[in-house]
Amino acid sequence: MFRKGEYIIYGNSGVCEVIDIGTMNMSGAAKEKLYYTLLPIYSNSSRIYTPVDNDKIVMREVLSKEEALAFIGQIDEIEPLRVSDEKNREEIYSQTMRTCSHVEWARVMKALYLRQKSRLEGGKRLASVDERYLRMAEDNLYGELAVALNIEKEDVEHFIVEHMEEKSKVMV
């Protein structure tokens, strides 16, 4: 069980703060059942109420600072998501995003960066579905890393680039 004040990943809502744990005083809610009250950190959506024992939506702890730094150090080694069935591309993106895995979010981003590069070289823009999932993956991953590293979300991409440049200097 998560604790009040803890940051968690809650499905596609991204990083949320657990602001309360308790029973719900609403019609239709079981009086003895415990619920988390979650506040999404990077969206303007209202509070989320979810059962503590919810097994339909992924809930997990945000990476620690050490885990986040280790992950950033391994980004080069993460393979892009392979989409072999273009007709089901959106469904594949959706399923991958629902895993709420930072590694899977990075795989989606890598695949879409490559797709974007290829389309730009052909004089085309990225399709709207691709743009939507790229933005979703970036928002979720950068949001989690920002909380884990205690930096602004807008600074995460720059932090990753700097960290990777330092790593490559050490390897030379």
Mean pLDDT split into 10-residue runs, the chain, 172 residues: 96 94 80 91 87 94 97 94 89 95 96 93 92 96 97 95 73 50
CA distance 75 to 80: 10
Q: What angle do CA 102, 104, 110 make, to 5 degrees?
A: 105
What span, in angstroms and rounded, lies between the C-alpha atoms of 14 and 136?
Answer: 9
Rounded CA-CA distance 81/5 in Å is 34
Look at residue 21 in the predicted model and tell me its pLDDT.
96
- What pLDDT shows up at residue 104? 97
Contact 21, 29 (CB under 8 A): no
Question: Alpha-carbon torsion 86, 76, 165, 153, what sign?
Answer: positive
The reported pLDDT for the residue numbered 165 is 75
